[in-house]
Amino acid sequence: MFRHELTHPAITRRGLLRLGAAASLLSVWALPGCSGNGADDGGTNGGKDVASSAPLSGKSLNVYCGAGMAEPFKEIAQRFQDETGCTMNVTYANAAQIATQIRESGTGDLWIAGSVEETERLGDALAASTDLVRHIPVLAVPSSNPRNIQSIVDLANADAILIGDPESTPIGKVARAAMTKAGIWDEVQGRVSTTTTAPQISAALANGQGDAGIVWKENVGEGVSIVAESDMEPFAKTVPAAELSGASDGEALSEFVGFLTSDEARKIWESHGYETV
């Protein structure tokens, strides 16, 4: 196999360390001030009367979310919990891990997936889907751009290319499709290293661990520059809110899906660099 797993930003291309299962395990995140089972907090929440101000107090939602969207989604979930009292338990992982978890467990209420295509693998476990934002891939380089990468075809001149795992992540599948279309996929395979999430790519590039990478636009941070943005536009994806057939609380789920399409939630997405649908 040509792929090397890159699991930490401070890793050289030729000396990639493996951090084991810790980098790929599902992680459950419950919002501060709440227990994962929706336990009673004594009737108050930050000095507020929960009974009168939180219409979904005592209810909970179990949500899956792509790891690359953790920052905006944490803010969105926190806002919804603060306003409704519904306990939000969120699991962050890559698409393949989440899809497997949903199919094998038959549980969960909602999946915020990296692309509509990823939810198609759910089969009967998918009950409904609502488009939220656009996921825009870009070609990114360290700000110094040591290999003078200006386009997808220039990746043929790179020594170290960072992409998501094309077998398990939407951004990895996009990278493979873009380089295949450019006619360089077979040529560069020996110089490709993969990550389990898109943010890891940006962090590695910022630390000089790679000549270029394909990453979601919103994950590009300090020390990283975008080049040839138009090359990647045809590969943009739509992020859906996928309602699961195993959902346990229809009322809470309906309220949250409504919140996800509200102006309040849209502003949070946009503040993190996403384009709303």
pLDDT by residue (tens digit) across 112-144? Answer: 999 999 999 899 999 999 999 998 999 999 999
8 Å CB contact between 273 and 218: yes
Exposed/middle/buried for residue 253 (C-beta within 10 Å: 0-12, 13-18, 19+): buried
The full 3-state SS of the chain, as one line of letters, equals CCCCECCCCCCCHHHCCCCHHHHCCCEEEECCCCCCCCCCCCCEECCEEHHHHCCCCCCEEEEEEEHHHHHHHHHHHHHHHHHHCCEEEEEEECHHHHHHHHHHHCCCCEEECCCHHHHHHHHHHEEEEEEEEEECEEEEEECCCCCCCCCHHHHHHCCCEEEECCCCCHHHHHHHHHHHHCCCHHHHHHHEEEECCHHHHHHHHHCCCCCEEEEEHHHCCCCEEEECHHHHHHHCEEEEEEEECCCCCHHHHHHHHHHHCCHHHHHHHHHCCCEEC
Nearest one of 173, 170, 169, 149 to 161, comparing CA atoms: 149
Sequence length of the chain is 277
What is the Cα–Cα distance from 151 to 228, expressed in whole angstroms?
A: 5
What is the Cα–Cα distance from 8 to 145, expressed in whole angstroms?
A: 21
Q: Which two tokens stand for residue 53?
A: 């101000």
**CA distance readout (Å), 150 to 25, 112, 158, 184, 231:** 35, 32, 11, 15, 10
- Kindly tell me if the per-residue pLDDT of 53 is higher than 60: yes
- Kindly tell me if the per-residue pLDDT of 46 is higher than 70: no
pLDDT at position 20:
31
- Kindly tell me if the per-residue pLDDT of 8 is higher than 80: no
pLDDT by residue (tens digit) across 255-277? Answer: 999 999 999 999 999 999 999 98
pLDDT at position 216:
94
Amino acid at 268: I
What is the Cα–Cα distance from 14 to 16, expressed in whole angstroms?
A: 6
* Domains of the chain by start residue, with CATH: 13-18+137-235 (3.40.190.10), 31-134+239-276 (3.40.190.10)
pLDDT by residue (tens digit) across 144-191? Answer: 999 999 999 999 999 999 999 999 899 999 999 999 999 999 999 999
